[in-house]
Structure 1
């Protein structure tokens, strides 16, 4: 009897079947495009027939490939259900979190587990801002971006992204009795958490500036890396006020400007509607929602103080 393909390879097939593009599937799976292509080629060789027709503008499912989708989706749904029931019985929650949100989430999760050791939360950091519950083994996820509109997924708004420049205290020398302006950033190294510099440009635009006040720049792939570099005194970055709430309170960084600009994006806790959320997941969602409410209240108080 021919051995069965691995579950990872079959998951890859389902994601490629959904995206019909190796590159987009690789982004979802957080692997290289070449790895996805090799897995599909190996699966086709193992089965003895083609699953996709390669076309100039992407992929198309063959007849054989289309026949596999429903049975595999049903099989993975049964596996997910079994794992979810096992997790509910053990009290273990598997939560995916983007690296940018770990600065906010991880200290709170550790505090929760110290207070309630019977509830075990395993947090996995990822550079991805989203989640594919049909392809990833997580009970819940913190996601970043626009309001999720995924079918069959429950979403709880945590807090909005609100941007302002931050840096190490020793890097900023305020002028006595003079409010800072973006001109004070001239000559300083600007740390960009995105390659397109959109966060800096958005904040400067709200201030009435059309361009960057400094030609010195360093770019990072994640907000967390930019903030960590700012804490080391390497430059000034744009930070999300809510994510660095504890760092501001401990004066690991300062926010020299009173202007805070909503980016239009936000953080959400999401989890599948089916199977029904376990008692542990319901408790975690309630607790995280309470923590987020305190963060929103802190941001509101900061905004009011800046406007006074």
Structure 2
């Protein structure tokens, strides 16, 4: 009897079967298109038959592939139910969090643990911005995306935390303002721009609000996560674009400064989500209420700061 394929590979198959496109499946899984293609090819070689027919406009399931979809979906749902039931008895809340949000989440969770040691919360950082509760061992997750993405997830409760609002930030010693002059993007010329995304979309969105069509500096470094870009900015390595909610504590402690008054909503948001079934435990309900309260405090402080400036 052949050994079973890994759950990761089977999950990749289900996502490809849903999207019928390697590139779109890669976006969902937060991996490269090549990695998805290799996993499917490896699975087909392991099974000894084709799962998809490659066509000019995408993919189509073979008869063998179509027969696998429903049983695997059911199996993942059963695994998810089993993990949820066992986890509900463990006394520990397991929360998935994208690395970009850890800067805001982790200090608050540690403070919560100190104030209420009976409420144990275990936060796991991930480069993924989403969650698959049927296949992942988490009680709740913080997800990032455009409004409506979290709400469209089936069978989950959604708590909106805050919207992403962008502005440039850097180490205080890196910024030398011109005397009696309001800063403009021209002041960024010659500085190294730190990009938290490969496509530079955050910088371009903020600059577009100033009427700039391109970048004011040719010096650039690219990162896979916002957290890495922020950490590099704190070291004085350049100017990054940051979410004011996520770096609120860093701004207040003056580890970084935001030299420009303009703050631009990106259209994305952070939400806390968890499955509707089984019903959330009292601990999870308390955690959700507490996190909503923390997010409300952050929004209020930033609103007051924005009005003052």
The answer to whether the superposition gives a TM-score over 0.5 is yes
In structure 2, distance between residues paired with 1:293 and 1:106: 17
Q: Which residues of structure 1 form unaligned runs of 5+?
A: none
Does the CA contact (< 8 Å) of 1:194 and 1:221 recur in 2? yes
Residues 233, 70 of structure 1: alpha-carbon distance in 2 compared, 3 angstrom cutoff:
same
Task: Verify: 1:234 aligned to 2:233, yes or no.
Answer: no
1:32, distance to aligned residue in structure 2 (A): 5.1
Task: Report the number of matched residues.
Answer: 306
1:37, distance to aligned residue in structure 2 (A): 4.2
Residues 230, 275 of structure 1: alpha-carbon distance in 2 compared, 3 angstrom cutoff:
same
SS of alignment partner, residue 276 of structure 1:
coil
Residues 183, 275 of structure 1: alpha-carbon distance in 2 compared, 3 angstrom cutoff:
same
In structure 2, distance between residues paired with 1:37 and 1:209: 39
- 2:258 aligned residue (248, 255, 260): 255
TM-score with structure 2 length normalisation?
0.88
SS of alignment partner, residue 90 of structure 1:
coil
1:245, distance to aligned residue in structure 2 (A): 0.6
Aligned positions of 1:35-74 closer than 5 A: 35-74=35-74
Q: Look up the match of 2:190.
A: 187
Question: Which deviates further from its counterpart, 89-98 or 288-297?
Answer: 89-98
1:61, distance to aligned residue in structure 2 (A): 1.7
Question: Which deviates further from its counterpart, 25-34 or 55-64?
Answer: 25-34
Q: Which residues of structure 2 form unaligned runs of 5+?
A: none
In structure 2, distance between residues paired with 1:32 and 1:226: 21
Q: Look up the match of 2:142.
A: 142
Task: Verify: 1:122 aligned to 2:107, yes or no.
Answer: no
Q: Look up the match of 1:102.
A: 102
Q: CA RMSD in A?
A: 2.4
Does the CA contact (< 8 Å) of 2:95 and 2:123 recur in 1? yes
Does the CA contact (< 8 Å) of 1:28 and 1:132 recur in 2? no
Q: Look up the match of 2:17.
A: 17
1:139, distance to aligned residue in structure 2 (A): 2.2
In structure 1, distance between residues paired with 2:270 and 2:229: 19
- 2:164 aligned residue (157, 161, 164): 161
Residues 165, 73 of structure 1: alpha-carbon distance in 2 compared, 3 angstrom cutoff:
same
TM-score with structure 1 length normalisation?
0.89
1:12, distance to aligned residue in structure 2 (A): 3.0
For residues 133-159 of structure 1, give each alpha carbon's deviation from its aligned partner in whole angstroms, at most 9, with x where no partner exists: 333332222111212222222221111
